[in-house]
């Protein structure tokens, strides 16, 4: 893999084989919904819950595959797995009036995208959550289901795929492209014109230098400094970052 040229990267608007249309960010991208559900009921759900008042949304249900898990949010019922979701859905008059987000972070980008497609296939509406202290450039494009958390930055002409997470104080600099299901952990920094493939994760405090490519499914370890392209489904760490392992490829 060679470092990408910024101009040529700009012309390649879709990173995913199953690319869906991106949507230009706008305040409170709720599509008119007033209620929302989360799939995932641990830490990421707590973080997203804090954003909802500014979006005018009320959380009405949580779903999670973990047996025996209790709801972390008072007054919000937790339903287990797809069977629990289907029982809940049977009581919903108009699923298209309910928004949804998948509150599952870390290295689970492929399941996050898969669950989002499942919810959307059942009529729910994935929305984009943006914390009130985050900055998103007016001409950035952000895929449905993406989550941009406190003090994060998505800079000019950047493009995020479906169900991406830009965590607390992480930065996506100019003309950077993220595929579907990418997760930037807190304080991660992508310099300008970086390309990140589907389901990759950039760890806490890591830095990726300009015009590099991070392959699909790759993991960049916490605090790493990436000075060369990273091959798909590899794990890198250190300063400078070097390969320390490989991951099993996964599909959404």
Domain ranges of the chain: 6-19+134-246, 30-127
Pick out the chain residues at pLDDT < 70. 1-5, 7-31, 252
DSSP reduced 3-state for 245 = strand
Sign of the C-alpha dihedral computed for residues 126, 103, 14 and 169 taken in this order: positive
Q: What is the mean pLDDT of the chain?
A: 90
First to last CA, the chain: 23
CA pair distance 147, 4, nearest whole angstrom? 26
pLDDT tens figures, 31-64: 677 999 999 999 999 999 999 998 999 999 999 9
CA pair distance 190, 102, nearest whole angstrom? 23
Q: CATH: 3.40.640.10, 3.40.50.20, 2.40.50.140, 1.10.3720.10. Which one for 30-127?
A: 3.40.50.20
Question: What CA dihedral angle connects 200, 195, 120 and 146, to 10 degrees?
Answer: 80
Classify domain 6-19+134-246 at the CATH topology level: UDP N-Acetylglucosamine Acyltransferase; domain 1 (2.160.10)
State the pLDDT at residue 30.
57
The whole model's pTM is what?
Answer: 0.88
DSSP 8-class letter at 143? -
State the pLDDT at residue 235.
98
């Amino acid at each position: 893999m060679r470092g990408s040229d910024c101009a040529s990267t700009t012309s390649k608007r879709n990173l995913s084989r199953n690319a869906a249309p991106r949507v230009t960010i706008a305040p409170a991208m709720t599509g008119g919904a007033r209620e929302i559900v989360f799939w995932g009921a641990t830490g990421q759900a707590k973080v997203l819950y804090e954003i909802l008042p500014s979006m005018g949304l009320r959380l009405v249900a949580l779903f999670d595959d973990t047996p025996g898990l209790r709801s972390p949010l008072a007054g919000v019922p937790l339903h287990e797995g797809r069977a629990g979701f289907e029982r809940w859905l049977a009581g919903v008059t108009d699923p298209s009036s309910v928004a949804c987000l998948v509150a599952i972070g870390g290295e689970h980008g492929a399941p996050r995208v898969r669950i989002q497609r499942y919810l959307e296939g059942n009529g729910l509406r994935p929305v984009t959550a943006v914390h009130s202290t985050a900055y998103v450039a007016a001409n950035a494009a952000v895929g449905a289901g993406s989550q941009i958390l406190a003090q994060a930055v998505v800079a000019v002409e950047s493009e995020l795929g479906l169900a991406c997470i830009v965590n607390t104080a992480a930065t996506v600099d100019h003309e950077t492209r993220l595929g579907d299901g990418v997760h930037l952990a807190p304080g991660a920094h992508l310099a300008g014109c970086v390309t990140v493939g589907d389901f990759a994760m950039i760890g806490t405090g890591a830095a990726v230098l300009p015009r590099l490519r991070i392959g699909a499914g790759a993991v960049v370890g916490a605090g790493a400094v990436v000075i060369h392209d990273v091959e798909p489904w590899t794990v890198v760490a250190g300063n400078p970052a070097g390969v320390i392992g490989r991951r099993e490829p996964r599909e959404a």
